[in-house]
Structure 1
Amino acid sequence: MAAPSWLERLRAANKIARVQDGNRMIHYQFEDGKEMAEEYNVKTGQLVSKWGSRENTLGGSGKWQVEVGNPSLPLPGPLESELIKESSSNPIFMRKDTLTSFQWRIRNLPYPKDVYSVSVEKEQRCCVIRTTNKKYYKKFPIPDLDRYQLPLDAAALSFTHTNNTLIITYQKPKEILAAEEELQKELKKIKSGDCDCKIQ
């Protein structure tokens, strides 16, 4: 028997919804014990942030991982220790999607656009940022493509540079656009309550 698709897993998950500060948060609990939380702008339907939980080595629930949204903002629930902070001048990598594309922003990169190259590594299933001056290098996956088992397409990838920020855009494939449309129909059926669905 084939494993359920990601959309089927989302449909089968136990979901709780609540609205706060103009955003609607959906908290998913999957059959395997993993959790995910998504936050959407109520007016635009735009995904604002997404977190996924990871199990720790002892089988308990591990830390929440920021997948979309500002990683420097505190997560809902118990705050992580902030004894060690990165320098504010270090490059800041974050994902901020649009309705039609996955998008990443790397702030504090002052070099001109022709210094950067952004490519797809199909075998490693990731994107790679390189600079000719060897000042910045980063590999990052696109978890959404992995979940839907879709190949990476170099033609979908583009980038620009403005105000010391490198902006990388990957156009969402039609399969993901269709799945997201289906998911939004499902989420509209969930009544938003005043339940406490903070990320623990």
Structure 2
Amino acid sequence: MSVWFTKLLKAKKSCIIDNNLKKVHYELDNGAELVEEYDLNTNVVTRRAWRRNKELKGEQSWDVEIGDPEPTYNFEEKYMIRENSGQPFVTRRNTRINIEWRIRNLPYPIEVYSVIVDKGTNSIIVKTSNKKYYKKINIPDFDRLEIELEQENVSCSHRFNTLIITYKKPKKMIEFEKALFEEIKKIEPQNSEDLNNCKIS
């Protein structure tokens, strides 16, 4: 299994159950914190957020990797990340077989967009022919698992002022997620309201 999988296995972990979500909190050996929410119906990660440099003075914000830009975790504190509602912004979602990005507030027709894999940076470049929008989308999962992006796995559509980009998950990523969820199932939550009462692994 990958180096990243081994790091997650070694991390200090605790959890809660909130309705149909299993929320897992990781404390990694480099001091970073990772929070993931799993939908217990689909076994899919619906939210992932990071907090790094906890030793610095002042409150550290969470960086959302997967999910909407206003997370609602309540592990140690409540926090909010807000976007300017009038500007284009990107959110990422997972399904069992795809990764999806939604770029909202993009009113241009589908033929204006170019969605290209950049092999040099292993990222997806989104730009418009009218030069109104440019965005480089990185996929941290792929970097951690050392997976190279392939153009043939990319598709896109546009509706309701939103550009939807879909990437078909490679086999290596699907196998990693399946193996990790098997480990997640072993973490037994004791109290759905208090993270500190969860079993530590």
Q: Same fold (TM over 0.5)?
A: yes
Q: Give the Cα separation in 1 of the matches to 2:107 and 2:58.
A: 42
Which residue is equivalent to 1:181? 178
Q: 1:125 — aligned with what?
A: 122
Instruction: Return closer, same or farther for 1:67/1:159 CA change in 2, 3 Å cut-off.
Output: same
SS at match of 1:55: coil
Amino acid at match of 1:196: L
Structure 2 gap ranges (5+): 197-201
**Alpha-carbon offset, residue 75 of structure 1:** 5.2
* TM-score normalised by length of structure 1: 0.86
Partner residue, 2:195? 196
| Structure 1: unaligned runs, 5 residues or longer | none
Distance apart, 1:140 and its partner CA: 1.5
Partner of 2:89: 92
Question: Secondary structure at 2:52's aligned position in 1?
Answer: strand
Report the identity percentage: 37
Contact persistence 1:54–1:61 (CA under 8 A)? no
Whether 1:79 and 2:79 are equivalent positions in the alignment is yes
- The residue that corresponds to 2:46 in the other structure is 48
Deviation at 1:59, TM superposition (A): 8.8
Q: What does the per-residue CA deviation read over 1:106-154, in whole Å, with 9 as the maximum and x for residues that have no partner?
A: 1121111000010111112211100011111101100000001111211
Distance 1:187 1:75, change over 3 A: closer
> Is residue 2:119 matched to residue 1:115?
no
What's the Cα RMSD here?
2.2
Does 2:30 align with 1:32? yes
In structure 2, distance between residues paired with 1:124 and 1:98: 24
- 61 and 101 in structure 1: CA distance in 2 versus 1, 3 angstrom threshold: farther
Task: State how far apart, in whole Å, the 2-side matches of 1:101 and 1:59 are.
Answer: 39
Q: In terms of mean alpha carbon deviation, does 39-48 or 71-80 score higher?
A: 71-80
Amino acid at match of 1:152: L
Q: SS where residue 172 of structure 2 aligns?
A: helix
Q: 1:73 to 1:37 in 2, by over 3 A?
A: closer
Deviation of 1:57 after TM superposition, in Å, equals: 8.9
- AA at the equivalent of 1:44: T
Larger mean CA deviation between 49-58 and 93-102 belongs to 49-58
Offset of residue 62 of structure 1: 3.8
Residue by residue over 1:16-56, the C-alpha shift from the partner in whole angstroms, topping out at 9 and shown as x without a partner, is 11111321101111122211010011222222110012227
Alpha-carbon separation, structure 1, partners of 2:126 and 2:81: 30
SS of 2:195's partner is coil
Contact conserved, 1:101 with 1:172, CA < 8 A, in 2?
A: yes
Task: Call closer, same or farther: CA 1:153–1:19 in 2, change over 3 Å.
Answer: same
Structure 2 residue matching 1:7: 3-state secondary structure: helix
